[in-house]
C-alpha cells in the first residue's frame, strides 16, 4: 500500500469518526428539542382551556419548567441538549451533506440558519436555568423598534411576509414528507416507519400554520402601525383561540406540536449519519 493510500485511508477514518461523534451530539439535541415542543403543546392546551396566563411559546414553556421542583436542573439538561443541537448544525453547515449532490449548498445554508435558531433557544434556556428570565414579547419589541426606523413599516411588512413564506415552506415540507430525505428508515419496522412519517407530516404542518399566524400578526402591526398587535407564538395561539371554533382549532395545533415533538424523537433515532 502506498503512502498516499495510507494517508487517504487515515483521513477517511478521521472523517468517519468525526461525523459519528457529531451525529451522536445531534441526536441528544433532537431529543431536547422534542421535549421543548411537547412543553409548547402543553401550554397551548392551557390557552385553549383558559387555565393559564403564561405565554404559549418557547419562553413560556421554559418559564413553566423553571417554576417546578427540580425545574432548573431540567432546564440545564435541556440547555446542554440544545447546545449539542447547535454544535451539530454548525458542523453540518461546515462539513455536512456531502451526499446531497446539487442540493448540498441549500442544505448547508439551512443548517446554518437552524444553528442560529437553536443557539438562541439554548441561550434563552440557559438564562431561565440561571434564574434570569427575559420578560416581554421579543417579537413585539423587535417590531416596535423596526416600526420607528426610517421605512420601518415596509421593513416590518417584509419581515412578516418572510415569516409567512417560510411557514408555507414548512407546511409544504410536511405535506410532501420531504423530511424523509433526512431519515434512514430502512431498518425500522412498519409501525415505527408509519409513526415517524405521520408524526412528521402532521407536526411540520401544524408548526408551519402556527408561525404563519405569527407572520400575519407582524404584518397587521405594520399595516395598522400598532406594535401592540405584533406578537410571537403566544399571540398566535390566542388569536387562533379567539376565532369561531378557536378552542377546537387550538387543540388541533397543540396536537400538531405533540406530533412534532414525538417526531423529533424519531428523528434522533433514525437521522442519517
Give residue 211's pLDDT: 85
Choosing from 109, 134, 159, the residue where a domain stops is 134
Share of the chain above pLDDT 70, in %: 73
Assess whether 36 and 91 both reside in one domain.
Answer: yes
* Banded model confidence at residue 160, pLDDT cuts 50, 70, 90: confident
Assess whether 188 and 97 both reside in one domain.
Answer: no
Give residue 202's pLDDT: 95
65, 124 contact by CB (below 8 A): no
Choosing from 81, 116, 134, the residue where a domain stops is 134
pLDDT digits (tens, 9 = 90+) for 188-234: 899 999 999 999 999 999 989 888 888 887 777 777 665 555 556 66
Assess whether 127 and 145 both reside in one domain.
Answer: no
Assess whether 140 and 273 both reside in one domain.
Answer: yes
For 7, the domain range is 1-134
pTM: 0.75
**Among the ranges given (107-121, 122-136, 151-165), the one the predictor scored with the smallest mean pLDDT:** 122-136
pLDDT digits (tens, 9 = 90+) for 39-83: 888 878 877 776 655 555 566 666 666 676 677 787 888 888 888
Amino acid at each position: 500500500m502506498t503512502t498516499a493510500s495510507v494517508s487517504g485511508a487515515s483521513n477517511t477514518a478521521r472523517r468517519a469518526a468525526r461525523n459519528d461523534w457529531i451525529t451522536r451530539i445531534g441526536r441528544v439535541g433532537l431529543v431536547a428539542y422534542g421535549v421543548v415542543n411537547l412543553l409548547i403543546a402543553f401550554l397551548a392546551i392551557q390557552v385553549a382551556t383558559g387555565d393559564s396566563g403564561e405565554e404559549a411559546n418557547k419562553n413560556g414553556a421554559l418559564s413553566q419548567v423553571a417554576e417546578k421542583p427540580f425545574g432548573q436542573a431540567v432546564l440545564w439538561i435541556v440547555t446542554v441538549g440544545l447546545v449539542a443541537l447547535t454544535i451539530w448544525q454548525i458542523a453540518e453547515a461546515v462539513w455536512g451533506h456531502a451526499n446531497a449532490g446539487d442540493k448540498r449548498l441549500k442544505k448547508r445554508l439551512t443548517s446554518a440558519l437552524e444553528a442560529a435558531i437553536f443557539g438562541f433557544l439554548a441561550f434563552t434556556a440557559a438564562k431561565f436555568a440561571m434564574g434570569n428570565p427575559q420578560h416581554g414579547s421579543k417579537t413585539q419589541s423587535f417590531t416596535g423598534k423596526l416600526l420607528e426606523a426610517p421605512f420601518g413599516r415596509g421593513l416590518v411588512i417584509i419581515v412578516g411576509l418572510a415569516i409567512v413564506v417560510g411557514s408555507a415552506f414548512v407546511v409544504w415540507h410536511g405535506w410532501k414528507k420531504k423530511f424523509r430525505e433526512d431519515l434512514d428508515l430502512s431498518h425500522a419496522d412498519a409501525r415505527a416507519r408509519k409513526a415517524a412519517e405521520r408524526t412528521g407530516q402532521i407536526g411540520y404542518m401544524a408548526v408551519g400554520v402556527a408561525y404563519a399566524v405569527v407572520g400575519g400578526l407582524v404584518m397587521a402591526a405594520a399595516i395598522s402601525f400598532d406594535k401592540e398587535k405584533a406578537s410571537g407564538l403566544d399571540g398566535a395561539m390566542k388569536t387562533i383561540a379567539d376565532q369561531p371554533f378557536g378552542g377546537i382549532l387550538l387543540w388541533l395545533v397543540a396536537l400538531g406540536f405533540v406530533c412534532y415533538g414525538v417526531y423529533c424523537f424519531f428523528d434522533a433515532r433514525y437521522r442519517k449519519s
